[in-house]
Amino acid sequence: MRRPLWLFAVACLVCAPAWALPEQTWVVAISNNRGEANELALLYADRDAQQFAQAMQVNGGVSPLRTVVMSAAKAEEVRDTILALNARIRETAEGKPTALVIFYSGHADAQSLHLAGSRLRLEELEAMVRGSAATVRLLVIDSCRSGTVTRVKGVRPAPEFEMNVQGEVATEGMAIITSSAAGEWSQESDELRGSFFTHHLVNALRGAADQNEDGRITLAEAYAYTYAQTLRSSGRTAALQHPTYAYDVKGKGELVLANPETGGKTGRLRLVESTTYIVSEEHEGGPVLAEVTPAREAATLALPEGKYFIQERLPTEYREYDVNVAAGGELSLAALPYRRIRYDQLVRKRGAEQTSVHGLFLLGAGRGEVLPGERGSPQVLAGYSLDLPWFTLQARLRGATASGLGPEGQLPRRHDELGVGLALQRFVDFSAFSLGFGLLTEAVLHQQTFSGTRDAPTRDALGGGFGGLISIERHLVGGLALHVEGGPMTLVFREAQVREFAVQGDSLASPFTWWAAGGLIWRL
């Protein structure tokens, strides 16, 4: 019987007793990268099965002697293995609790698993699992569709296969989880080196799904976490993916699939906030071991002993850690040093999911002399900034005023400017600051007004400005940064030719001067 996700999430929070997998738990992890002749070969189905089997051993306490991993097997081999295992369970159970967990990653359609040119009907697979003498049976199927940076796990859309748990199940029951709903594609990722679904299911078993902080991962918690994270990951591709389940387990409380705190060859890493963490092996750019978004703050993740590069993704920045995890030890990210990387820097180095960062800035500025007898003019500059992967684009509005004297120290004047411009810069980011190089161009409205003993009309003129820019930015807090810029500039405008206080004509002027500004930029 199928239920909506919220019922499963509620089950996670109910204060019901929970019981672990029995000592006699058998795991069969099946994979096949090859489907039928017209299906594109997968890359990571085998790794999915290995990762799931390892998680069940390390975090679920399943004995390696009761774990079977089948790679590139055909339908007949899979059938024989499950039937032989069912016979062994019947012979050795002797009334003790037992569990059977079957996992599959590979191609499938609405009726069958596709195993290297052979087919195993889903109806038959369900019957073999349901007919097992094991007290509890769990069937997990990661198959169907694919998209974007992914490979197709199946070729053509088909109705969702129905796996209804019948009333004649054995004493405790059976659960079935599939990686996608009807008509959807299951996806595997080159970055994660596995499917979205299996990747998040494995991380759920490592501790990311522990909603109630009891150190145990129930079946309900594992499904709820895997559903939410698979939906989030597939939301970055061409097609959403919704894991589904059929669940009928009778008994006293929740089934515990994993206890991450007891893994002998693992260490515990306590995270900080409930945000997304990318865990890479060895160093930045290394293979991604885990992409997790824990269900709560200060969640604990069980990781194999080793060296890791961890990226914590916060709303305005990434934090990067180098971590050494020791078997049996515990580390807290809150106590470790980190490097702060702002989102504008990540966009520029093409390392963020988003492709742009918006900002606002306000600067005070100064400029050298433009007209003879005119002192340097104070400036105010406001604008909008857009950081893109290859460059930063700015729209700028500038206001300026200057005063001076005309020929022979007479005819005092005031010179006002209003400039609208664009700046294009390329930033290079260092640990302590960012350095930018670029060009500036603007259209300028000039206005001169005169005062004194002689009457003179107000003069208006349009002109332009062109210059180079060198910028330095220093991050302060949150999205706020100190911004300083400057460079050479040329203004182009029509300049009146005055003789004996009378305008005799005009000519094109292009004075060369300098420009400098400083203030704050706030990236949203």
In a domain, 345, yes or no: no
Phi, psi of 199 (to 5 degrees): -55, -45
Name the more confident of 309 and 345: 309
- Tell me the residue ranges of DSSP E strands in 327-356: 330-332, 339-342
Instruction: Please report the pLDDT score of residue 385 as a whole number.
Output: 96
In a domain, 343, yes or no: no
Q: Is the pLDDT assigned to residue 44 strictly greater than 70? A: yes
- Summary mean pLDDT of the chain: 80
Q: Is the pLDDT assigned to residue 166 strictly greater than 70? A: no
Q: What sign results for the dihedral spanned by CA atoms 279, 283, 284, 288?
A: negative
Q: Determine the average pLDDT of the residues in 383-401.
A: 93
Is-contact 120 129, C-beta < 8 A?
no
pLDDT, tens only, 58-77 = 888 899 999 999 998 899 99
Instruction: Please report the pLDDT score of residue 472 as a whole number.
Output: 96
CATH number at residue 369: 2.40.160.20
In a domain, 348, yes or no: no
Q: Which pLDDT band holds residue 236 (cuts at 50, 70, 90)?
A: low
**90 and 203 share a domain?**
yes
CATH number at residue 124: 3.40.50.1460
Instruction: Please report the pLDDT score of residue 13 as a whole number.
Output: 39
**174 and 256 share a domain?**
yes
Is-contact 197 231, C-beta < 8 A?
no
Quote the percentage of the chain above a pLDDT of 70: 79
**409 and 511 share a domain?**
yes
Residues 6+ apart with CB under 8 A from 92: 24
Name the more confident of 191 and 439: 439
Q: Is the pLDDT assigned to residue 307 strictly greater than 90? A: yes
Is-contact 200 223, C-beta < 8 A?
no
Q: Which pLDDT band holds residue 250 (cuts at 50, 70, 90)?
A: low
In a domain, 205, yes or no: yes
In a domain, 350, yes or no: no
By CB atoms closer than 10 A (0-12, 13-18, 19+), residue 252 is exposed
Last residue of a domain, one of 337, 371, 396: 337
Instruction: Please report the pLDDT score of residue 260 as a whole number.
Output: 77
Last residue of a domain, one of 263, 281, 316: 263
**154 and 29 share a domain?**
yes
CATH number at residue 270: 2.60.40.10
CA proximity to 475, closest of 321, 333, 353, 359: 359
In a domain, 429, yes or no: yes
Domain total in the chain: 3
**279 and 362 share a domain?**
no
Q: Is the pLDDT assigned to residue 149 strictly greater than 90? A: no
Q: Which pLDDT band holds residue 505 (cuts at 50, 70, 90)?
A: low
**68 and 203 share a domain?**
yes
In a domain, 346, yes or no: no
**84 and 155 share a domain?**
yes
Instruction: Please report the pLDDT score of residue 501 as a whole number.
Output: 54
Q: Is the pLDDT assigned to residue 483 strictly greater than 70? A: yes
**278 and 257 share a domain?**
no
Q: Which pLDDT band holds residue 88 (cuts at 50, 70, 90)?
A: very high
Q: Determine the average pLDDT of the residues in 80-88.
A: 93
Q: Which domain holds residue 436?
A: 357-523
Indicate the pTM of the whole model.
0.65
Q: Is the pLDDT assigned to residue 51 strictly greater than 90? A: yes
Last residue of a domain, one of 263, 279, 314: 263
139's tokens:
């069937």
**35 and 119 share a domain?**
yes
* C-alpha to C-alpha distance for 234 and 232, rounded to whole angstroms: 6
Q: Which pLDDT band holds residue 226 (cuts at 50, 70, 90)?
A: confident
Q: Which pLDDT band holds residue 452 (cuts at 50, 70, 90)?
A: low
242-251, 319-328, 416-425: segment of lowest average pLDDT: 242-251
Instruction: Please report the pLDDT score of residue 144 as a whole number.
Output: 63
Instruction: Please report the pLDDT score of residue 351 as a whole number.
Output: 58
Q: Which pLDDT band holds residue 261 (cuts at 50, 70, 90)?
A: low
**431 and 491 share a domain?**
yes
In a domain, 347, yes or no: no
52's tokens:
């799931």
Provide the residue type at 372 as one letter: P
**482 and 370 share a domain?**
yes
Name the H helices within 312-427. 343-348
Long-range contacts of 496-503 (CB under 8 A, 24+ apart): 496/459, 498/406, 498/407, 501/406, 501/407, 501/410, 501/411, 501/454, 501/456
**241 and 281 share a domain?**
no
Instruction: Please report the pLDDT score of residue 167 as a whole number.
Output: 34
